[in-house]
Amino acid sequence: MRTYERTHPWISFRCDLKTAGPDLWIALGEAASKCEHLCRVPLRPATAQVLHQLYLAKGVAATTAIEGNTLSEAEVRQAVEGKLVVPPSKQYLKQEVENIIAACNQIGQRLAGGSLPVPSAELLCAYNRQVLEQLPLNEDVTPGALRSHSVLVGEVYRGAPAEDCPYLLDRLCAWLNGADFQAPEKSAPGMETVYAIIRAVVAHLYMAWIHPFGDGNGRSARLCEFHILLSAGVPSPAAHLLSNHYNQTRTEYYRQLDYASKSGGDVVPFLKYAARGFVDGLRGQLEYIWDQQWDVAWQNFVHEKFQSKNSASEVRQRHLVLDVGDKRDWVAVGDIAELTPRMAKAYAGKTPKTIQRDLNALAEAGLILREGRKVKACREIILAFLPLRCNLDKIVPTDGVSTPPAPN
């Protein structure tokens, strides 16, 4: 018998999902479906780039914040863009962030090049080395090397015995790459993603239990999780969502980790916790994308309205409604002449009457609303082109019976 079997019996390399109720499977199914939606939505290049950088920054900020890094998400975004400057006293914080950024980008590049390997002990050691590169460390910590000493995590959890770490890491990788995490043959579409999410979360959990390295275990575990999600076809912005969820719910994260070991290795509650956060994050990403699609549809609608209308006043009116629409809110009429550089140029030398005539024309065309000395673009007109459906938010109960309104 190995020592860990006596001290850490919950490290059993079994994933018993018999107790998983429908709520877990529904959440995993929704997550798989939303990942597929994200993969298939064509985005403008600028939007795709912003989405990638935004969620890379969120994921990196989250995984380092859990370990005590105090750089803000905005500062991490600057680091993603290569623009972060910090005083010498914060250089180690910047270095930690840059290490995770480089690791995530490397995983993405290897995936794009078709050379992303399956998880292995050597790969996880390489990730740990990259995570800890050029950081101040204790003398007994060697980046990328398995620890040879006992380690206490947060003064409450002791990692697996050091002598068992090489065996445990090898066995973990063999298990993750084995049949337990493969979707059954002839399973429904999307089940591959469902099993990949389970595999990624379980990998994270077991890395936390084993704690194979002298430092950087949490960051290495979350990097392994990111690797597995990305290799399974989860789009890169979504693959950062779990780290963000763990950081936003840090107290619950630690509680779930603690329960998972004390329960004897029951992974289901942690899976439910992770799946719920993943789905919430995916919903937020889709809202962002839908907003971008709404913007594209609005712009196309305006251009169609002005098709074959090329007089100076018509071009000016088209630019006016688009620039007002970009503000997404009411705009004071007195601010229009300086609303954007394009508006400043269009109305240079013009009287306020010209602006009024343009606004009247746009209001008559149904493209803007006027309310006193304020105007707003009628971007909501695009919603009329959505498929017919009942608006459940407007159902009013009457004598205990809900009567649906007419479809909108």
CATH assignment of the domain containing 121: 1.10.3290.10
| Backbone dihedral region for residue 82 (phi beyond 0: left; psi -120 to 50: alpha; all else: beta) | left
297, part of any domain: no
Answer yes or no: do 268 and 344 share one domain. Answer: no
Pair (186, 235) in one structural domain = yes
Give the domain-ending residue among 259, 290, 321. 290
Range of the domain at 226: 3-290
What are 90-122's pLDDT values in tens digits? 999 999 999 999 999 999 999 999 999 999 999
Percentage of residues in the chain having pLDDT higher than 90: 81
Of 290, 317, 346, the last residue of a domain is 290
Within a domain: residue 100? Answer: yes
Per the domain annotation, does 402 fall within a domain?
no
Residues 234 and 329 in one domain: no
- Is residue 400 included in any domain, yes or no? no
Pair (83, 171) in one structural domain? yes
Do 105 and 231 lie in a common domain? Answer: yes
Statement to judge: residues 284 and 311 lie in one domain: no
CATH number for the domain that contains residue 350: 1.10.10.10
In this structure, what token pair is assigned to residue 389?
């459906």
Tens-place pLDDT, residues 249-304: 999 999 999 999 999 999 999 999 999 999 999 999 999 999 888 899 999 999 99
Report yes or no on 45 lying in a domain.
yes
**Is 62 part of a structural domain of the chain?**
yes
Examine the pLDDT at 395 and tell me if it is beyond 90.
no
Q: What's the pLDDT tens digit per position in 353-373?
A: 999 999 999 999 999 999 999
Residue 407 lies in a domain: no
Query: So what's the pLDDT on residue 258?
Result: 93
Q: Are 313 and 187 in the same domain?
A: no
What's the rounded mean pLDDT across residues 135-147?
Answer: 96
Name the band, by pLDDT with cuts 50, 70 and 90, for residue 405. Answer: low
266 lies in the same domain as 346: no
Same domain? 283 vs 313: no
Provide the domain count of the chain. 2
Indicate whether 236 pLDDT > 90.
Answer: yes
Type of residue numbered 23: D
Whether 155 has a pLDDT exceeding 80, the answer reads no
Residue that terminates a domain, selected from 290, 318, 343: 290
- Beta strand pairing call for 396-398 and 401-403: antiparallel
Q: Are residues 258 and 122 in the same domain?
A: yes
What is the per-residue pLDDT for 387? Answer: 85
106 with 255, same domain: the answer is yes
What are the pLDDT digits (tens) for 188-228? 888 999 999 999 999 999 999 999 999 999 999 999 999 99
| Same domain (yes/no): 325, 286 | no
pLDDT confidence of residue 222: 95
